[in-house]
Amino acid sequence: MTLELNTGLPSTKWLQGALRDKQSLEVKLVTGDVLRGTVRWQDPQCLCIDTDGQATVVWRSAIAYLKFSGATSQTVQDNALLQAGS
């Protein structure tokens, strides 16, 4: 069974914008652990987060929330919303 990433979903576009712009994210896991870094890639089941040069693969089901960190987060969020509407 092959899963495909649904690029029409706003969450996928949001993450693609973060990946493209190398925007710093905070990823809180359901365990309470927090990762800070940038998205290297995403697929239907996982995200790869670059934390200080180290790749960490996280299952989507382990994520409690994602949020932008840094001063330019509003620009990336606005761009993702604009793309989601097109």
Torsion, Cα 70 73 74 78, to 10 degrees, reads 170
pLDDT, residue 23, reads 93
**What domains can be seen in the chain, in order of their start residue?**
10-85 (2.30.30.100)
Task: List pLDDT tens digits, range 19-70.
Answer: 999 999 999 999 999 999 999 999 999 999 999 999 999 999 999 999 988 6
Do the Cβ atoms of 30 and 42 come closer than 8 Å?
A: no
Do the Cβ atoms of 42 and 56 come closer than 8 Å?
A: no
Measure the CA–CA gap between 63 and 85, rounded to whole angstroms.
25
pLDDT, residue 57, reads 97
Measure the CA–CA gap between 70 and 77, rounded to whole angstroms.
12
